[in-house]
């Protein structure tokens, strides 16, 4: 019905004048939680306000599902107008095959390379002088979100390292709370693993492992400690964890069922949507690690090439809109992420966001996420290993280490 109406409207507009042809721009994304939906609505509404083009929303739960759908649609010749990916190597083959729209005309006019920071956020978009994606935000992954009340009730201080956490967790458990709110989905298990990895080791180790794909690092004593610490966390989660969505786990911290959750800064949007106040009701601890490190990843939109000129115009318009200072401020405040440009108004930023911004200015604190260096294939192998290790306590650290070493050995 809707589609028919739109079709007639478009047809009508086309007959009246060729210059005002409007396009339906389908956008595939995985922003389905409460806070995320509010953020994506900002983009959709602002885009619809710009003119006759219309944002058609296709929300798919779970990033990996949304990305597979996009890949299938592009390969099958039924590409969407735009699609969300992570700032990573996830879409490099699409660029190589020339399936994505080169945004350089807009990018050069607006000077994207001058204002998008840090440069690691724009790098995955660039290939052979073209710009093929729009980074919309910077997400930092290493945060421990805490419920202040639960920690007060349990009589323990909020932990700043994994050792402190493991020491505090039994006391929290004794007080009748779940120490760690955990979502047992592959990507979340992997996420916590990465946070433990950087928390137990350091930046140099991180780069040796992911950037240089050092087999020595993969089989080292430090890596053993990572697996041991990660495995020790199992006993502090609840039985309902398998399959749980990240925002349901966040909700356990919000409602005081659980003491803490390891999640990226996107969890801030959930706390905000629940009306909680940063550093009063809930705490945000970068890490936990000796020295705060944040991997700076984020979300980026790609725009599949199309022969339809009016769609291409709409794509360029959306790309430009996503980076405008006003939208950057509005969108990222709702989403809980940091804007990709420094010159936006952040007066409404809360205490946790300010912490993140301060760390962003410290060049030593920011590191590049693993998936900027390894392919999705390798990434998937590691996710399978981590997921098996987490769910099969019978798997020894030794065998996990040897599998891990094998994966890094084969990594491209």
Partner 1 sequence: MATSAKMSTPRRAKHVQISSLLASAPMAIVAIGVFVVCVGYSVVLSFTKSRLFPNFNWVGLDQYERLWGTSRWVVSVENLLVYGVLFIALCLISGFFMAVFLDQKVRFESGFRTLFLYPYAMSLVVTGLVWQWMMEPSLGIQNVVQRMGWESFEFAPLVSSEYAIYGVLIAAVWQSSGLVMALMLAGLRGIDGEIWKASRVDGIPTWKTYLFIVLPMMRPVMITSVVLLAVGVVRVYDLIVAQTGGGPGMSTEMPAKFVIDHITARGNVGLGMAAATMMLLPVLLVIGPWIYREYVRPTKH
The answer to the question of residue 202 lying near partner 1 (CB under 8 A) is no
Show the beta-strand stretches assigned E in 103-184.
126-127, 130-131, 133-135, 139-140, 143-147, 178-181
d(CA 209, CA 372): 13
Cα angle 295, 74, 377 (rounded to 5 degrees) comes to: 45
The answer to the question of residue 402 lying near partner 1 (CB under 8 A) is no
Interface residue with partner 1, options 167, 242, 308, 345 (CB under 8 A): 242
The answer to the question of residue 231 lying near partner 1 (CB under 8 A) is no
Say if CB 73 and CB 79 are below 8 A apart. Answer: yes
The answer to the question of residue 149 lying near partner 1 (CB under 8 A) is no
d(CA 319, CA 389): 41
Interface residue with partner 1, options 107, 233, 241, 259 (CB under 8 A): 241
The answer to the question of residue 166 lying near partner 1 (CB under 8 A) is no
The answer to the question of residue 97 lying near partner 1 (CB under 8 A) is yes
Sign of the C-alpha dihedral computed for residues 235, 238, 244 and 249 taken in this order: negative
The answer to the question of residue 67 lying near partner 1 (CB under 8 A) is yes
The answer to the question of residue 185 lying near partner 1 (CB under 8 A) is yes
The answer to the question of residue 366 lying near partner 1 (CB under 8 A) is no
Stretch that binds partner 1, among 149-157, 178-186, 284-292, 359-367 (CB under 8 A): 178-186
Give me the residues paired with residue 360 across strands: none
Length of the chain, in residues: 412
Stretch that binds partner 1, among 1-9, 339-347, 353-361, 390-398 (CB under 8 A): 390-398
d(CA 364, CA 293): 8
The answer to the question of residue 324 lying near partner 1 (CB under 8 A) is no
Interface residue with partner 1, options 94, 125, 178, 233 (CB under 8 A): 94
Interface residue with partner 1, options 108, 377, 398, 409 (CB under 8 A): 377
Interface residue with partner 1, options 17, 19, 119, 239 (CB under 8 A): 239
Q: Nearest approach, Cβ of 257 to partner 1 (angstroms)?
A: 10
Task: Show the tokens assigned to 362.
Answer: 């410290």
d(CA 344, CA 218): 41
The answer to the question of residue 237 lying near partner 1 (CB under 8 A) is no
Residue 372 has φ and ψ, to the nearest 5°, of -80, -20
Q: Nearest approach, Cβ of 23 to partner 1 (angstroms)?
A: 26
The answer to the question of residue 186 lying near partner 1 (CB under 8 A) is yes
Closer CB to partner 1, residue 8 or residue 391? Answer: 391
Residues contacting residue 287 through CB under 8 Å, at least 6 positions apart: 142, 143, 144, 160, 161, 195, 199, 293
Q: Per-residue string for binding with partner 1, 19-48, x by CB under 8 A?
A: ------------------------------
Q: Nearest approach, Cβ of 60 to partner 1 (angstroms)?
A: 12
The answer to the question of residue 68 lying near partner 1 (CB under 8 A) is yes
Q: Count of alpha carbons within 13 Å of 95, Cβ hemisphere only? A: 21
Interface residue with partner 1, options 7, 9, 48, 93 (CB under 8 A): 93
The answer to the question of residue 296 lying near partner 1 (CB under 8 A) is no
The answer to the question of residue 384 lying near partner 1 (CB under 8 A) is yes
Span between the terminal Cα atoms of the chain, in Å: 49
3-state SS, residue 296: strand
Interface residue with partner 1, options 228, 308, 392, 398 (CB under 8 A): 392
For residue 85, what is the enclosing H or E element? strand 82-86
The answer to the question of residue 345 lying near partner 1 (CB under 8 A) is no
259-280 per-residue burial string, b: 16 or more CB within 10 A, e: under 16: bbbbbbbbbbbbbbbbebebee
50-72 per-residue burial string, b: 16 or more CB within 10 A, e: under 16: eeebbbbebebeebbebbebbbe
Q: Nearest approach, Cβ of 288 to partner 1 (angstroms)?
A: 25
Closer CB to partner 1, residue 220 or residue 237? Answer: 237
Interface residue with partner 1, options 129, 243, 275, 363 (CB under 8 A): 243
Q: Nearest approach, Cβ of 370 to partner 1 (angstroms)?
A: 15
Residues near partner 1 (CB under 8 A) are 62, 64-65, 67-68, 71-72, 75, 93-94, 97, 184-186, 239-243, 375-377, 379-381, 384, 387-388, 390-392, 403
């Amino acid at each position: 019905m809707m589609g028919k109406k739109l079709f007639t409207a478009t047809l009508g507009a086309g007959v009246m004048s060729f210059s005002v042809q409007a396009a339906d721009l389908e956008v595939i994304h995985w922003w389905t939680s409460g806070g995320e939906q509010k953020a994506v609505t900002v983009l959709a509404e602002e885009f619809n306000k710009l003119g006759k083009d219309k944002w058609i929303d296709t929300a798919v739960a779970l990033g990996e599902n949304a990305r597979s759908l996009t890949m299938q649609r592009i390969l099958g010749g039924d590409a969407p107008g735009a699609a969300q990916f992570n700032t990573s190597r996830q879409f490099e083959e699409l660029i190589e095959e020339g399936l994505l729209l080169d945004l350089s005309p807009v990018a050069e006019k607006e000077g994207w390379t001058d204002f998008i920071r840090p440069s690691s956020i724009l790098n995955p978009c660039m290939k052979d002088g073209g710009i093929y994606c729009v980074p919309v935000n910077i997400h930092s992954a290493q945060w421990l979100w805490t419920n202040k009340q639960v920690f007060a009730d349990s009589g323990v201080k909020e932990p700043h390292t994994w050792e402190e956490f493991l020491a505090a967790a039994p006391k929290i458990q004794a007080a009748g709370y779940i120490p760690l709110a955990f979502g047992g989905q592959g990507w979340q298990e992997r996420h916590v693993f990465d946070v433990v990895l950087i928390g137990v080791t350091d930046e140099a180790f991180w780069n040796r492992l992911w950037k240089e794909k050092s087999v020595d690092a993969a089989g080292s004593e430090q890596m053993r400690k990572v697996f041991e610490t990660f495995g020790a966390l199992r006993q502090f989660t609840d039985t309902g964890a398998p399959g749980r969505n990240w925002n349901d786990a966040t909700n356990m911290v919000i409602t005081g069922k659980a003491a803490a959750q390891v999640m990226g800064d996107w969890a801030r949007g959930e706390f905000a949507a629940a009306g909680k106040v940063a550093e009063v009701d809930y705490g945000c601890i970068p890490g936990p690690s000796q020295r705060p490190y944040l991997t700076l990843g984020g979300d980026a939109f790609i725009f599949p090439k199309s022969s339809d000129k009016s769609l291409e115009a709409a794509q360029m318009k959306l790309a430009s809109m996503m980076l405008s200072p006003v939208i950057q401020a509005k969108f990222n405040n709702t989403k809980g992420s940091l804007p990709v440009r420094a010159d936006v108004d952040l007066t409404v930023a809360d205490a946790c966001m300010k912490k993140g911004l301060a760390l962003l200015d410290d060049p030593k604190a920011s590191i590049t996420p693993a998936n900027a260096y390894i392919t999705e294939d390798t990434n998937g192998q590691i996710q399978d290993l981590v997921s098996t290790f987490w769910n099969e306590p019978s798997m020894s650290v030794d065998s996990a280490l040897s599998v891990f070493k094998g994966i890094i050995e084969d990594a491209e």
